[in-house]
Structure 1
Amino acid sequence: MPSSYNPALVVLSIAVATLASYTALDLAGRIALLAGARQRRAWLAGGAAAMGVGIWSMHFIGMLAFSLPIPLGYDLKITGISLAIAFVVSYFALAVVTRRTLSRRRLFAGGVLMGFGIAGMHYTGMAAMRMEPGIQYRPALFAASLVIAIAASIAALWIAHTLRDSSLRRIIVKRIGAAAVMGLAITGMHYTGMAAADFVPGAICGAVQGANASVAAGENAQWLATTVILFTFAILLVTLLLSRFDARNTLLAGSVTTLNNQIVHLATYDTLTGLLNRSSLTERIGRAIDVSRARNRPFAILFMDLDGFKTINDSLGHAFGDEVLKAFAQQLLQCVRASDTVARLGGDEFVILAEDLASTQDAAHMADGLLARMREGIVAEGQPLQVMPSIGIALFPQDGDSVDALLKHADAAMYEAKREGRGIYRFFEARMNEAALRTLKIQRALHEGLGKSYFSLHFQPKFRGDTGEVAGAEALLRLNHPEFGELAPIDFIPIAERSGQIVQIGYWVVRETCRQIRRWQTAGLPPMKVAVNLSPRQLTQPELVATILDITKAEQVACRQLMFEITESVAMQDAPKTIATIHQFQKAGFEISIDDFGTGYSSLAYLQRFRVKQLKIDRFFTNGLDDNGHEGKAIVSAIIALAHSLEMDVVAEGVETESQYDKLKDMQCDEMQGFLLGRPLTADAFGALMHQQMRTTTGKSALLN
């Protein structure tokens, strides 16, 4: 029996299939975002209904586009069954594609079941015509329709699963393209199935005979198709709008929740290390006080500060310093119990709150274990480092009954640990409050010192080893305070270094040294070379050499009259950077000396690359000339020979006995300084010493003449 199609309805069936496919893709992305099981099931059911209506409508419109030379109709019951099949197939498809993972096996099995489901819907819909005699199907085309249905289903499932992530770039464009492909595949299956059907000449449509229980087509096909199309488009569009609206609400709610969580996290945790911050620690200590009082069990505050961290941070950069802090924090977490609290107060200050201690010795054992663990070193940016903390311990209730008192006393104990050698721990003692107060007063004195003339310079003479004449001097800083009197450098230099005040104080030393050199020259003394010590903090200043050059030009002093001393241990902390700094000084006309040689870890390769003018042998080795006999002499002799081989002069400091002097002279030490030869002098006293030497030299010259 000949058949034909309405082209307009065919095009509309493809459009419905495409819109239904796009709706399926959008729903897959929407459902994938849902976490709640109840909400997920609700959207699966609603989505399956909308998607099922879309797929079924495409099929029904395609059927309405089909016409035969006889009246056609569709049994309502059987048509309803085909719609139910469309619902079930859609629910199954959405459930599969919204899973977190979709294996190849699951994809293939799901595609086969979905393909049979779509084919079942199609052929059930065709059975709703109730043709008499029944429809005959061509085996090849019938099989082809099944293959197309399965292949289209597998492709649709894979595409929907791939495009379910709504955050992908150009996701809407990708879904529109995919929907067009899926729509053509679905309609292709339908029209292949229709082509497989043979209608016997003289056959009649049984559904038309049972008009009370069927839908008549024929001349009503156009009106019926329009109704179905409008109804289907309305359902699909409403579903899309609801999906978009709900997705935005969910996204907004999720964003608000995420933002709120981030705000809470920022208020609670340290952003760099992930440890608790100061406010959270304060709250924890407050709770610990209440619990400890109720249970009568002590707890401890371990306050720690990283030794030498400022030097690392300034010399290697803040980014590297941050990596050191993060590595230290992770190491710290490995040293505590699960019940302990670890926090970062800021900078390189960390605190451990150790609750429920059996005795005070538990805190000591914890500190011992922590220091032992840190001696193993940490790794920052692939570079192994040994970063040691100084630890102060305060106990509740004997060392304080409030958060502020406990933190203050633990801090005071930590500074005591630093003063006593660093890399150790100390329990709080009442006397430490006085030491902490003294430290604060000294820090205030340093701040006021430059403006109120608290600072002064003394000059320790350096003598030639061969003639015993004055060869130069070393500038030594002194602080004379109205309350403390004269302070030795050991009392205030470390405080100035930690606070950063040493930078400006160091520039003052250079300027005052230049002015004194000029005064001596005005008084008729010969040009004098004066050595000035550079601190670790000063060496990190990018404009150090340029600033010192400006000072010498302003004070009209030649660069060759200044020598800058760098301690060996500081020079080796970042040897390549030290080399660059030394070369800058040398290019400007200054000379450099390596101070305290032998106490650090210099390699001969770096010592050769430093190319400094002078090595200063540490007083430890000078004392060894008397204390260690032949071994002590051998070490000093080796250092002098090494320096001379590298064309460097040698200065021995700490010369205090005649035997030391004689041995150094025999070993051809270039210069010496120490209490045996001359103590630090005021500028006037040093000038008088030089005048006396000039008169002696003049007298000797007169006798020779």
Structure 2
Amino acid sequence: MRLGKKIRYIILPIVMLVSIVVTSIYYGIYKNQIIENKIHSLNEYLKAAVTKTEYDLAYAQSYLQHKIDSKEASLIFTQNEKGVQLTAPYISQFLKQFVNQGANLNNTLNVVNDFSIYDAKQQLIVHINTQDPFSVPNLKSQTKFLLDEINNKPTKKVSQYYYFIDDTEQKLLNLIQVFSPYHLTSQQFYDANDDLYIVQAQVGVGLIRAAVDELINEHNGFIKSTAIIPSNNIVNELSIELLPFDSLINNYNATIKTELFEIIIELDDEYFSETLNLVLIKLLFLSFVLMGVSYFIVVKLIDNQIIFPVTKLAKSIKEVEASLTIELKPLKTEDEVSALNESYISLIKKINNLANNDPLTGLSNRRSFNNSLSTLFDIINDKKNSDYTALFFIDLDNFKYVNDTYGHEVGDLLLIIFSRRLKVMLKKESDHATYNEKIESIARLGGDEFVVLINGFPSLLEIEKLGEKVCALFHDSFDIGVNKFNIHASVGISYTINKIKDGETLLSQADSAMYLAKKLGKNNYKLFTPEIEDKINNELKIENQLIESLKNDQFVLVFMPAYTAQEKVLTGYEVLLRCPNLANTSVGPDIFIPIAEKTDLILMIDLWVTENAFIKLKELINKTGFKGFFAINVSSKSLRNDDFYVRLKALIKEYDIDVTQIELEITETCLMPDDYQAIESLKQLKSLGVSIAIDDFGTGYTSFNQLVNYPLDTLKIDRSFVQSLGDTAAGKKPTLDIIYELAKIYELEVIIEGIETKSDFEHVQKLPGVTVQGFYFTKPFQWEEVISLN
């Protein structure tokens, strides 16, 4: 079967499958959006109805309290106490309060429909009905029940408010307010033996029923409700809870609950059928049209761009095979067919120079580079040379991660792509630069190490410019298949003007400069200087000392206590690492930890700290019954290392540690807004039951709305915000207080670091529920001090 026909058979099912998948995905998204929008609208409607009801109820309570506290009411209570029968003027004055208030409301709320005051002996004091002035007062059974309770149980505590729904008027709420005119202020609870009066009021709070009925009418039978209202029920609290519709789990039921009633609202899922069916029909029609057009366009493009050029190339290759005098010429196009043509042309060349070239990248290999280096220095040592000779040592950063994660095949492709970029850039530079045609060698030494040897630079400035251009090769990602690799490089540069006798020294110096570039954060270049060698040797010395200390178990833990700000009660310790061997040379954690973090050494140190902290915690618990926490700092490398989670889980089991006493502290700079790997790692660690704290908050770029992405328990505010308390302008709130309030909104525990003065402590004591650390209380404890103090 010819290639063109094969491709057509392949394309047709692919186009059909893609069309079906895209249509299904789009329909699913559109369907979910329609349902979510409607569910959101219904929930917002119900929330508004609940909010209005709560507001009306609160207003009714305030309204009744205002009437009871009025001057007119006091006259009524005074006359009643004297045993004087109430006369019409007193009642008229009291009634006028209701009439005036009702006029001010513009009929938005009938606050009180029926208002009666009874004394504890069930004697009517006053009765007002704002709807019917000739109505007869009616002592409701619930009110009578409450009065009987007051008379029969003088030691009973009586609440200020009671609520019930009248049997005959289930849509209206009755409110009972208990009060004593002899108390200056209203009480939440009264003793039954106080001189109490009872207000029985039927208030104009519609209890959401009207809103639900309106919702049912608007949806033409697709919404129905069921109300459950028990009879003769009376409660002293009334709260309204909304259990909304939930589109995520296709829950089309909502419930409104109070202590007096429950309304269940059901939305029929058939409500969406008509709209969704119409959408589906349109999508299917559009899908078939696009499928046909796409198939036609793809076939034409493949014929023009692939089939015809490949056929032509195959014909040319046969002609070359038939006659040795015919040679293939490079094609002008830049596509795969052209690349295939070029590959065929270069096949013989590769066979001839395989001994001197790297088989993967086509660059010179180490043997060829060494020959070029030796030959060059033989030449420049034989005659005076005023130009610079420069050697660029290029090492790809994080290449090992690509190899280990995606396999050697992907790693090899990455090396090939970089080699091509490097050669293209150097060719362009050599076409117009002052060192034209003086590139002595471009070589791959092995692995991910490359070198470029150039003779003829007029100045150091030109050397540095080329160093910048080498680094610029990594600004664009390396696309391999569906993956994008943001790989960078560390570049070391050495140079000479005929001042050294051999090329090995030049290579060694370039290697040292590259090592420093990598230590300083990678993705940059460094020129070799004697100071570079000194700095590298010093860091290597520190690194070797760390390795020796880890090997011989010579690290030491100290413990920084944490206290509650209000009571100064010890709540736990932050575990800190010290290296006595380095401390003797004034090298502290601020120096040796960053050096360890540049290598995998920090992974072993983190595990050493964790295991030894567990040992100390277990010992402290066994000896003293310690109930507090141990906070252990975890580096960014350990956070992203799955082995740390596995080892931590094993250590918890091995030492039988109560995970509620372990807190892992992650520096804020370890986290980025969209660092999904860090988020997943934190969730994995959190699954063990330990607490997670973000340390030094405020030193990075994490905003509070990003904290919700992370499974955090505690926020540690950086000491810089404590130190800046004195810089806060008068009348303005310190940044520390603002961070504290936001942390509490996010329900995070707060630890404030760096308390060093009395004024610092007095300020943070005003913040409820915070934990504090700092030299104001003590320096970190040695282990013996921890044992003795607990």
1:298 aligned residue (388, 408, 412) = 388
- Which position in structure 2 is the counterpart of 1:492? 592
- Which position in structure 1 is the counterpart of 2:657? 557
**Which whole-Å CA distance do the structure 1 matches of 2:746 and 2:401 have between them?**
29
**CA contact 2:606–2:638 (8 Å) conserved in 1:** yes
Relative to the length of structure 2, the TM-score reads: 0.48
**Which whole-Å CA distance do the structure 2 matches of 1:620 and 1:265 have between them?**
61
- Measured after TM superposition, the shift of residue 270 of structure 1 is 7.5
- Measured after TM superposition, the shift of residue 674 of structure 1 is 3.5
1:522 aligned residue (614, 622, 637) = 622
Amino acid at match of 1:269: D
**Are the structure 2 counterparts of residues 669 and 346 from structure 1 closer, same or farther at C-alpha, using a change threshold of 3 Å?**
farther
- Measured after TM superposition, the shift of residue 364 of structure 1 is 2.8
Please give the residue correspondences for 1:298-697 in structure 2 after superposition, counting only pairs within 5 Å.
Answer: 298-304=388-394, 336=426, 337-338=429-430, 340=439, 350-368=450-468, 378=477, 380=479, 389-397=489-497, 401-417=501-517, 425-481=525-581, 485=585, 487-524=587-624, 526-572=626-672, 575-602=675-702, 606-626=706-726, 634-666=734-766, 670-688=770-788, 690-691=789-790
**Are the structure 2 counterparts of residues 384 and 630 from structure 1 closer, same or farther at C-alpha, using a change threshold of 3 Å?**
farther
- Measured after TM superposition, the shift of residue 608 of structure 1 is 0.7
- Measured after TM superposition, the shift of residue 267 of structure 1 is 6.5
**Are the structure 2 counterparts of residues 351 and 490 from structure 1 closer, same or farther at C-alpha, using a change threshold of 3 Å?**
farther
**CA contact 1:344–1:351 (8 Å) conserved in 2:** yes
- Measured after TM superposition, the shift of residue 554 of structure 1 is 1.6
Amino acid at match of 1:298: Y
**Are the structure 2 counterparts of residues 100 and 679 from structure 1 closer, same or farther at C-alpha, using a change threshold of 3 Å?**
closer
Amino acid at match of 2:677: K
Indicate yes or no: 2:357 matched with 1:268.
yes
Indicate yes or no: 2:389 matched with 1:289.
no
**CA contact 2:630–2:663 (8 Å) conserved in 1:** yes
- Measured after TM superposition, the shift of residue 553 of structure 1 is 2.0
Counterpart of 1:523 in 2: which secondary structure?
A: helix
**Which whole-Å CA distance do the structure 2 matches of 1:359 and 1:583 have between them?**
54
- Measured after TM superposition, the shift of residue 511 of structure 1 is 0.8
**CA contact 2:697–2:717 (8 Å) conserved in 1:** yes
- Measured after TM superposition, the shift of residue 599 of structure 1 is 3.6
**Which whole-Å CA distance do the structure 2 matches of 1:451 and 1:486 have between them?**
21
Amino acid at match of 2:773: Q
**Which whole-Å CA distance do the structure 1 matches of 2:697 and 2:405 have between them?**
21
**Which whole-Å CA distance do the structure 2 matches of 1:668 and 1:270 have between them?**
69
Counterpart of 1:499 in 2: which secondary structure?
A: coil
**Which whole-Å CA distance do the structure 2 matches of 1:401 and 1:625 have between them?**
62
What do the CA deviations read for 1:262-294 (whole angstroms, capped 9, x no partner)? Answer: 6955973383x6665555544444344344444
**Which whole-Å CA distance do the structure 1 matches of 2:729 and 2:377 have between them?**
59
**CA contact 2:639–2:682 (8 Å) conserved in 1:** no
**Which whole-Å CA distance do the structure 1 matches of 2:630 and 2:660 have between them?**
9
**Which whole-Å CA distance do the structure 1 matches of 2:391 and 2:399 have between them?**
22
**CA contact 1:31–1:40 (8 Å) conserved in 2:** no
**Are the structure 2 counterparts of residues 586 and 100 from structure 1 closer, same or farther at C-alpha, using a change threshold of 3 Å?**
closer
- Measured after TM superposition, the shift of residue 436 of structure 1 is 2.7
**Are the structure 2 counterparts of residues 572 and 330 from structure 1 closer, same or farther at C-alpha, using a change threshold of 3 Å?**
farther
**Which whole-Å CA distance do the structure 1 matches of 2:500 and 2:392 have between them?**
14
Amino acid at match of 2:714: Q
User: Size of the alignment, in residue pairs?
Assistant: 455
- Measured after TM superposition, the shift of residue 592 of structure 1 is 1.2
**CA contact 1:465–1:672 (8 Å) conserved in 2:** yes
**Which whole-Å CA distance do the structure 2 matches of 1:259 and 1:38 have between them?**
16
- Measured after TM superposition, the shift of residue 600 of structure 1 is 3.6
- Which position in structure 1 is the counterpart of 2:320? 35
- Measured after TM superposition, the shift of residue 590 of structure 1 is 1.0
Please give the residue correspondences for 1:109-148 in structure 2 after superposition, counting only pairs within 5 Å.
Answer: none
**CA contact 1:626–1:632 (8 Å) conserved in 2:** no
**Are the structure 2 counterparts of residues 259 and 275 from structure 1 closer, same or farther at C-alpha, using a change threshold of 3 Å?**
closer
Please give the residue correspondences for 1:171-250 in structure 2 after superposition, counting only pairs within 5 Å.
Answer: none
Counterpart of 1:588 in 2: which secondary structure?
A: coil
**CA contact 1:596–1:616 (8 Å) conserved in 2:** yes
**Which whole-Å CA distance do the structure 2 matches of 1:478 and 1:277 have between them?**
46
Amino acid at match of 2:633: N
**CA contact 1:390–1:424 (8 Å) conserved in 2:** yes
Amino acid at match of 1:546: V
Q: Name the structure, 1 or 2, with higher relative contact order (CA <8 Å, separation 6+).
A: 1
**Are the structure 2 counterparts of residues 613 and 634 from structure 1 closer, same or farther at C-alpha, using a change threshold of 3 Å?**
same
**CA contact 2:669–2:699 (8 Å) conserved in 1:** yes
**Which whole-Å CA distance do the structure 2 matches of 1:519 and 1:586 have between them?**
24
**Are the structure 2 counterparts of residues 32 and 519 from structure 1 closer, same or farther at C-alpha, using a change threshold of 3 Å?**
closer
**CA contact 2:394–2:490 (8 Å) conserved in 1:** yes
**Are the structure 2 counterparts of residues 262 and 513 from structure 1 closer, same or farther at C-alpha, using a change threshold of 3 Å?**
farther
Q: Single out whichever of 342-351 and 554-563 deviates more from structure 2.
A: 342-351
Counterpart of 2:568 in 1: which secondary structure?
A: coil
**Are the structure 2 counterparts of residues 670 and 265 from structure 1 closer, same or farther at C-alpha, using a change threshold of 3 Å?**
farther
**Are the structure 2 counterparts of residues 544 and 663 from structure 1 closer, same or farther at C-alpha, using a change threshold of 3 Å?**
same
What do the CA deviations read for 1:200-221 (whole angstroms, capped 9, x no partner)? Answer: xxxxxxxxxxxxxxxxxxxxxx
Counterpart of 1:547 in 2: which secondary structure?
A: helix
What do the CA deviations read for 1:440-496 (whole angstroms, capped 9, x no partner)? Answer: 333333333333122221222233333333332222222233896574234433443
**Which whole-Å CA distance do the structure 2 matches of 1:316 and 1:634 have between them?**
49
- Measured after TM superposition, the shift of residue 644 of structure 1 is 1.8
**Are the structure 2 counterparts of residues 259 and 359 from structure 1 closer, same or farther at C-alpha, using a change threshold of 3 Å?**
closer
- Measured after TM superposition, the shift of residue 510 of structure 1 is 0.9
Give % identity.
Answer: 28
Amino acid at match of 1:460: M
**Are the structure 2 counterparts of residues 628 and 99 from structure 1 closer, same or farther at C-alpha, using a change threshold of 3 Å?**
closer
- Measured after TM superposition, the shift of residue 528 of structure 1 is 3.0
**Are the structure 2 counterparts of residues 650 and 296 from structure 1 closer, same or farther at C-alpha, using a change threshold of 3 Å?**
same
Instruction: Give the number of the structure whose alpha-carbon radius of gyration is greater.
Output: 1
Cα RMSD for the two superposed structures: 4.7
What do the CA deviations read for 1:71-127 (whole angstroms, capped 9, x no partner)? Answer: xxxxxxxxxxxxxxxxxxxxxxxxxxx9999xxxxxxxxxxxxxxxxxxxxxxxxxx
- Measured after TM superposition, the shift of residue 559 of structure 1 is 1.5
